[in-house]
Amino acid sequence: MPDPPYKNGAEIAEILDDDPDCPVYYFVALRAGFDEIIGTCSLGFENSSTDKYSIGYNVKKDHWGNGYAAEMVHALIDFARGLGIKSITAPVAKENKASNRVMEKCGFFIDGESSFKKSGTDIVHPTFIYRLNL
């Protein structure tokens, strides 16, 4: 994955320890017919003080360019609709041209700008905040 790997199970457990006021749904994406993990994705509250939902995804680098990101985003959209969610957002680094294209292909529009610090680093990325009204 593009993000740094986790150091141990305790670190993962801490990240996945859901706040009941801020639920997050985590998914692992498998390559059909190969039992191979190609990425991960999630849907959850942006934070516990809002009722806005956000999605994220991560595709292993050796699987980039195969349409898997868009497939994951479409699955997250369907899942969100099934939960009755009316709107979802997705932060995307401005320089990540491929992910910006995925958002556009999946019907999202730019609703604002922000920045985020890359996990495990001091790198700050300016981002577009995409929105899709369901």
- CA dist 73 and 70 (Å) reads 5
Long-range contacts of 112-120 (CB under 8 A, 24+ apart): 116/91, 118/3, 119/3, 119/4, 120/3, 120/4
3-class DSSP assignment, residue 39: strand
CA 62 to centroid of chain Cα atoms: 18
DSSP state of 108: -
> For residue 20, what pLDDT is reported?
57
pLDDT in tens, 31-81: 888 878 888 888 988 655 567 899 999 898 899 999 999 999 999 999 999
Phi, psi (degrees; rounded to nearest 5) at 130: -90, 150
pLDDT in tens, 109-128: 999 999 988 777 888 999 99
